[in-house]
Structure formats: C-alpha cells, structure tokens
Structure 1
C-alpha cells in the first residue's frame, strides 16, 4: 500500500500547465511542521516536499491559497523512471478547519 496523508502549507506553486496528453497538472512545494512522539520522546519534524496535482484536482489546487494549512492525501512515486527523487502525487485536499 502506498498512501500518504500530511498536513502542510503550499509554499510555492507553478502555474497550471498541460501534459502532451492534455491532462492539466500543477507542481508545487509543500511545507510541513509538527510535533511527533518517537520512542516516547517529543520530536519536531519539518520538511518540504515536491508535490503534483493532476487531472480534476489540478484546477482546484492551482487556485488554493498559499500559506494556508491543508490536509493532503495521495501517494509517493519517483519523479521519473530513472530518478531516485520522490514526488507526492496529490489525490485530494481540504482546508484545515
């Protein structure tokens, strides 16, 4: 199973573009910061992750406000066939209430 759920802010976002197959796509960098417990010890976690939204979700994602916290769900995949870098593929997201 390959599922990822993360609360993050949209730090940077490219403009909506289209793949050669005509699929809308938006790339972005998400920023996460939280407190986690590991082996009974509190730990601050901070990271930035490259993300992409494709298809129907791309339009909504392309208009989402920067700097606002969202709950994202999706999966991880290699950036391309020969890459070792991972990209978070966003399936859905919603603003944190």
Structure 2
C-alpha cells in the first residue's frame, strides 16, 4: 500500500498549469518539523517535501494561504519515468486551526 500522511506548512506554490487533457495541476513545497520515535529514541525531523495537486484537489491548495498548516494525504510516486525522485501527490487536505 502506498499511502502517505503528513502534517506540514504550505511554504510555496507555483502557478496553475494544465495537462494536455485540460486538468489543472499545481506544484508546491511543504515543510514539516517534529519528532518521531525510532528504536526507543526521539529523533528530530525537519524536511521540505515536493508535492503536487491534480484535478479538484488543486482548488483547495490554490485557496490556501502560504504558511497555513494542514494534514495532507496522498501517495508517493517518481517525478517522471527518467527522474526517480519521489513527489508527494496530494489527494486530500484538512486544514488545521
């Protein structure tokens, strides 16, 4: 199963573009920091994640302010067939208050 959930801040978003089929796409950067338990020890994590929102979920991302925190859900996939760097494909956004 490929399911990824991340609580993060929206730190940047690109302009909307459209696929050849006319589907809206928006790339963004998410920033996460926190602690996880690894082998009984607390480990501090701070990272930026490249993400993409396609179709209807793009509208939710477009309406978010930079700096907003949310729980993002989706899956990881290679950027392209030639570029195997992973990109987080957002399928659900829940804003945090």
TM-score class, shorter-chain normalisation, is: over 0.9
Question: Are the aligned partners of 1:16 and 1:59 in contact in 2 as well (CA < 8 Å)?
Answer: no
Q: How does 1:1-97 map to 2 (within 5 A)?
A: 1-97=1-97
Question: Are the aligned partners of 1:29 and 1:48 in contact in 2 as well (CA < 8 Å)?
Answer: yes
**Rounded Cα–Cα distance in structure 2 between residues aligned with 1:67 and 1:44:** 21
- Secondary structure of the 1:77 match is strand
CA RMSD of aligned residues (A): 0.8
How far off its partner does 1:63 sit? 1.4
> Displaced runs of 4+ in structure 1, greater than 4 A?
none
- TM-score, normalising length: structure 1: 0.96
Give the gaps of 5 or more residues in structure 1: none
**Rounded Cα–Cα distance in structure 1 between residues aligned with 2:6 and 2:60:** 18
**Rounded Cα–Cα distance in structure 2 between residues aligned with 1:20 and 1:64:** 25
- Secondary structure of the 2:58 match is helix
**Rounded Cα–Cα distance in structure 1 between residues aligned with 2:56 and 2:86:** 22
Give the gaps of 5 or more residues in structure 2: none
